[in-house]
Amino acid sequence: MITFYGAQLRKIDERLQSKHFPSLQITTGTVDRFQGMERAVVIVSMVRNNSKGDVGFAKKPERVNVAFSRAQELLVIVGCHSLFTQQRRQAGSMYSEVSNLVSIHGGFVDLSRLFC
C-alpha cells in the first residue's frame, strides 16, 4: 500500500498490523520508499481532504508516476475523485486523464453514494 502522506501512512500501519492479517505479506510506505520496487498488487491511497483542496505532493507528476507504476498485475487507486480531477493546471489534467482511462476500461467505481 502506497500513500503520499506520512501521517496517513502511520494510520494505515496502525490498522494493518500483521497480527490481524497473518497470511498476507503487506508492505506499506510512502511513494518515496517504493521508488524502484514492484509488487503484484498495489493499492495507492489518494485519500486527502482539507479546507484548501490542496493535494500536496500528489500534484507532482514524477511522484504520481512512481505510485502508479509499481503494480505488476493490479493497481487500485482509492481517493476523492472530485478533489483530484478538479485541481488546477497540470495536476487536474493528469488525474482526469487517468480517470478517463480507468472509466473506459470499466474500472471506475464510485462509492460516494454509499457514504452520503
Q: What is the per-residue pLDDT across 65-79, written as a single tens digit (0 to 9) for each?
A: 999 999 999 999 998
Q: Which residue segments constitute the domains of the chain, with CATH numbers given?
A: 2-115 (3.40.50.300)
**pLDDT, tens digit, for every residue of 30-57?**
999 999 999 999 999 988 777 787 888 8
**89-104 and 61-68 helices, crossing angle to 10°:** 20
pLDDT at 115: 65
Q: Distance (Å, rounded) from C-alpha 7 to C-alpha 34?
A: 17
Q: Distance (Å, rounded) from C-alpha 109 to C-alpha 72?
A: 21
39: part of which helix (H) or strand (E)?
A: strand 39-46
Q: Distance (Å, rounded) from C-alpha 87 to C-alpha 60?
A: 12
Contact indicator for 9, 28 with CB cutoff of 8 Å: yes
